[in-house]
Amino acid sequence: MSNSLPKGKPLGYWSVVSIGIGGMVGGGIFAVLGLAVQLSHGGTPVAFAVAGIVALVTSYSYSKLSVTYPSQGGTVEFLNQAFGTGLITGGLNILLLLSYIVMLSLYAFAFGSYGASFFPIAMQPFWKHVFITGIIILLTGLNILGAKIVGKSEELIVALKITILFIFIGAGLWSVNPHRLAPSTWTKPLQLIAGGMIIFLAYEGFELIANTAGDVKNPRKTLPRAYYSTVGFVIALYVLVSLVTVGNLPIDQIVAARDYALAASAKSFLGSSGFILIAIAALLSTGSAINATLYGTSRVSYIVAKEGELPKILGGKIWNRPIVGLLITSILTLFIANLFNLSSISIMGSAGFLLVFAAVNTANLRLYKKTTSHRVISALGIVLCLSALVALILQVAATSPREILILVVMIGSAFTIEGIYRKYNGREIRLHKN
């Protein structure tokens, strides 16, 4: 989540696109690439493309809703407009908040993994937890103090990581071994699709564009163009990055270094300097993503609390900042990033966002007259999101049944928290607005 939105003047097309790309190419690709390869093998570029298609179709609903209901609340506002402020909406909004916390944990996990990669293998588990804990505490402190050093440098970091990824692609394409990408190296269709869905949260950031809608110049024209070009660009980028990775390094070596697969792949054709370059880019990228997501998630908790779906204490501000929400977010992130593995974190985050995006597509279908939308596209978005979620659950159930329980607890907790709060608070439970 970006915290560096320009103020005082309307946002043009390129400004909105940069916000969307910055949100999508946060730290996800550095964190989940190895996991995708482990599941999809030579079909990893296809897995990324399939996940991207789900995001692209969903961006249609986001573009229509953003134009009709411009608000900093973004997804929260869309769900409230379609379904009212009842139990279902409240549970989905809390699930969105939990999914952001899981995504934050993924960034912290990736930061720890790349930081630890500079140490001997035997010491890496220890240093990974040191880096995870240290970066969360450091950036939480910066957010509490209101320091804007990282925020001000965010545009530079986005430009730097995109440049480094282009260098990675440009240098690596020349040495790709096409036999490593042949259909014979792909996994079975269900596992291949699941490989794309387990890393779906790497595409999540396009919805940040919705939060800028109220400040966009000529939004009816600018927002749809920005959504589609942003998602399209990132699909191409991810497919090329995965193609270069799988095409240059054997699958078993990628899996062995799956927590920092991008750096390991760069080493195969750029040497040790390539490993260091990618590792530093990953640290900068995931560090800035942690900072921006901490900032943004605390504000999501603030908005949800203001809607009456969480205790008012989360909507209160100290020094004009929602610090209570920030601290709760940081504590939960410390817990998840240090105690869960990469696979569990990715499954929780991707499943959470697929369910929320299915709800957003449903919201646009419900409001199609007001948003002047084609119902078929929104319905397709619902089917794709739910089918992707089912594919993910089936694959996880077949390979790691224990992780299904983690997913059930996460989703169940969102609605249980909302239900208990409403009962305690005496609020009426309504399914939609009157």
Model confidence over 110-120: pLDDT tens digits?
999 999 999 99
pLDDT at position 154, please? 59
CA distance 145 to 122: 36
C-alpha torsion angle, residues 112, 118, 122, 123 (rounded to 10): -60
Architecture of domain 13-425: Up-down Bundle (1.20)
pLDDT at position 211, please? 76
Site of tokens 């607890």: 409
pLDDT 10s digits, 207-246: 878 877 778 888 899 999 999 999 999 999 999 999 999 9
All residue ranges of the chain with pLDDT < 50 are 1-8, 150-151, 318-319, 429-434
CA distance 352 to 47: 19
pTM for the structure as a whole: 0.86
pLDDT at position 258, please? 87
* Residue 387: both structure tokens together: 């089918």
Q: How far is CA 293 from CA 53, 136, 194, in A?
A: 24, 11, 26
pLDDT at position 11, please? 77
pLDDT at position 178, please? 93
Q: How far is CA 94 from CA 298, 307, 308, in A?
A: 12, 12, 12
pLDDT at position 177, please? 93
pLDDT at position 190, please? 86
pLDDT at position 322, please? 57
Site of tokens 């509490």: 144
